[in-house]
Amino acid sequence: MYYEAKTGALVALKRPLASTLSTPARDWRSVKWMTPGIGIKRWALIAIAGLALAAAGALFAGAELSINVGLTVMEWVYVLTGRVIDTVALGIALGIAGVALVAIGLNGTLRAVEDALGSKDFLDAAFLRRKLENGTSVVALGGGTGLSTMLRGLKLYTSNITAIVTMADDGGSSGKLREEGMLPPGDLRNCLAALADAEPQMTSLFQHRFEGLGPLEGHSLGNLIMAAMCEITGDFAEAVQQTARVLAIRGTVLPSTLEDIRLGAELDNGEEIVGQVKVNKATGIVRAFLIPDGPKALPGAVDAIRDADVILIGPGSLFTSIIPNLLVPEIAAAIKASRAPKIYICNVMTQPGETQGYTAADHVRAIVRHIGTGIVDTVMLNNGPIEAGLLERYAKTGAEPVQLDEEALAPLSVRPCQGSFVGTGEVVRHDPDKLASAIFKLLDKAGK
């Protein structure tokens, strides 16, 4: 599969990628393997010789060669050694010698390749890559830091990941770039960095945020790189994919829509506010909505949902990261139509204002209120211990651990799944490894 940015579709290659190279290019690549000094030819020749001996040995042992050839060989052996040997014994000897040469040749070839690549774990890496490429097809929807945190764990289990990211962000660096007419890259950038296979220094550089440099202050380098890519390609979706190639990510990151959407909310006092930052700080949210209403989804995002083995929603802010994705009609419809498990990863803590006092069932009710049923069938919620000092600090802001209220989930046809998913540190967040492990154990239990 490859991503076609202009149409926003995931397209199947009709022929192997290597076949798209010109014939002269392929021929020259073949000649390069014969270049003196790279240490591969000798081992390859030994392996080939070993295969030939093993084949000859098998033919001798099975009496598949003609009598004349067998007698001729026996005559040569007699001239050289003065002894008579039967073809079966000769075949077995040649077979053993051939297998030994093949083993020596393959081992030498592998060492030469590892030396050329500067890697001593080439074989392990190749096996791991193949395993990940054949892994579960996962679609994860959300935004903010919650989604990117989970992606860092998921990429250890599969490379078939599609992160579908909300485009309603209007704060910080993304907000400044939106003022210049660009779609917000911030949440996309976080997901790209989370899925990156690039060197840690490259990822750290990509996530660097400028401080005290005048017009650059507050901008992250990754956002500026994506802005440059957008200017070079003239297409935002293509800029995302080119940036993904630079970071060598495992999986795909897609915006939920390419329309310039704004997030709004209706409050319980009847007031309406517009802007993701304002909604995030608001209390008493009754309804969230997008401007314009019913934006068109990126076709590649819809295709990924249809082909998914599992659909993960969250973690992330309910009204500013989760629901904005689901308010794109084609995305909600694709999720409802899917027969894959649909798992809602509930935040560990409530958020002051936005979800203050919310239980797990309240989160699901909010989704049902906006989109209807058929979006969630399982809720994953942490029940592991959280450091007392952290709980006290969060309590001062009005945040507390989200409670399960299992009885309230039952009428919503949603199953609970609890476990210890919290990491260590100065903030309360999911641990990527724990969360990913729990997700795949849940899928194994369900037979997916």
* CB atoms inside a 10 Å sphere around CB 411: 9
pLDDT value for 357: 94
pLDDT tens string 344-390: 999 999 999 899 999 999 999 999 999 999 999 999 999 999 999 99
- Quick check: is 9 in a domain? no
Show the domain range for 52: 35-120
User: Same domain for 175 and 310?
Assistant: yes
pLDDT value for 28: 55
User: Same domain for 83 and 183?
Assistant: no
pLDDT value for 95: 72
Q: How confident is the model at residue 125 (pLDDT cuts 50, 70, 90)?
A: low
- Compute the distance between CA of residue 430 and CA of residue 439 in angstroms, rounded to an integer: 12
- Quick check: is 58 in a domain? yes
Residue 8 has pLDDT above 60, yes or no: no
pLDDT value for 447: 73
pLDDT value for 37: 56
Q: Classify each residue of 309-339 as buried b or exposed e, where b means 16 or more C-beta atoms within 10 Å of its C-beta.
A: bbbbbbbbbbbbbbbbbbbbebbbebbeebe
Average pLDDT, stretch 112-136?
69
User: Same domain for 50 and 179?
Assistant: no
* CB atoms inside a 10 Å sphere around CB 132: 17
pLDDT value for 86: 67
Average pLDDT, stretch 396-421?
94
pTM surpassing 0.85?
no
Least confident of 67-81, 94-108, 109-123, 292-306: 109-123
CATH number, domain with residue 311: 3.40.50.10680
- Quick check: is 1 in a domain? no
User: Same domain for 334 and 364?
Assistant: yes
Least confident of 73-77, 418-422, 441-445: 73-77
DSSP-assigned states of every residue in 259-278? S--EEEEEETTS-EEESHHH
- Quick check: is 43 in a domain? yes
Last residue of a domain, one of 97, 120, 143: 120
Last residue of a domain, one of 74, 94, 120: 120
Query: Tokens 């014939």 sit at which residue?
Result: 23
Q: Please, which residues bridge with residue 53 across strands?
A: none
User: Same domain for 202 and 246?
Assistant: yes
Residue 27 has pLDDT above 70, yes or no: no
pLDDT value for 327: 98
Answer yes or no: are the C-beta atoms of 143 and 316 closer than 8 Å.
Answer: yes
User: Same domain for 114 and 154?
Assistant: no
pLDDT value for 323: 97
- Locate 207 and state its tokens: 């996530």
User: Same domain for 224 and 80?
Assistant: no
Three-state SS for 234? coil
pLDDT value for 62: 54
User: Same domain for 287 and 402?
Assistant: yes
User: Same domain for 236 and 277?
Assistant: yes
pLDDT value for 185: 94
pLDDT value for 424: 87
Residue 415 gets which letter from DSSP?
E
User: Same domain for 146 and 73?
Assistant: no
Residue 19 has pLDDT above 60, yes or no: no
Last residue of a domain, one of 120, 149, 174: 120
Q: How confident is the model at residue 113 (pLDDT cuts 50, 70, 90)?
A: low
Residue 12 has pLDDT above 70, yes or no: no
- Quick check: is 19 in a domain? no
- Quick check: is 293 in a domain? yes
- Quick check: is 187 in a domain? yes
pLDDT value for 49: 79
Q: Return mean pLDDT, the chain.
A: 85
User: Same domain for 149 and 251?
Assistant: yes
Q: How confident is the model at residue 114 (pLDDT cuts 50, 70, 90)?
A: low
- Locate 299 and state its tokens: 């076709």
Residue 343 has pLDDT above 70, yes or no: yes
User: Same domain for 232 and 322?
Assistant: yes
- Compute the distance between CA of residue 221 and CA of residue 209 in angstroms, rounded to an integer: 6
Residue 223 has pLDDT above 60, yes or no: yes
* 127, 163, 171, 184 from 255: Cα distances, Å: 31, 8, 17, 10
- Locate 154 and state its tokens: 């998921």
Answer yes or no: are the C-beta atoms of 105 and 48 closer than 8 Å.
Answer: yes
Answer yes or no: are the C-beta atoms of 114 and 120 closer than 8 Å.
Answer: yes
- Quick check: is 199 in a domain? yes
* 22, 313, 395, 420 from 318: Cα distances, Å: 50, 10, 19, 21
Average pLDDT, stretch 251-263?
96
Give the number of domains in the chain. Answer: 2
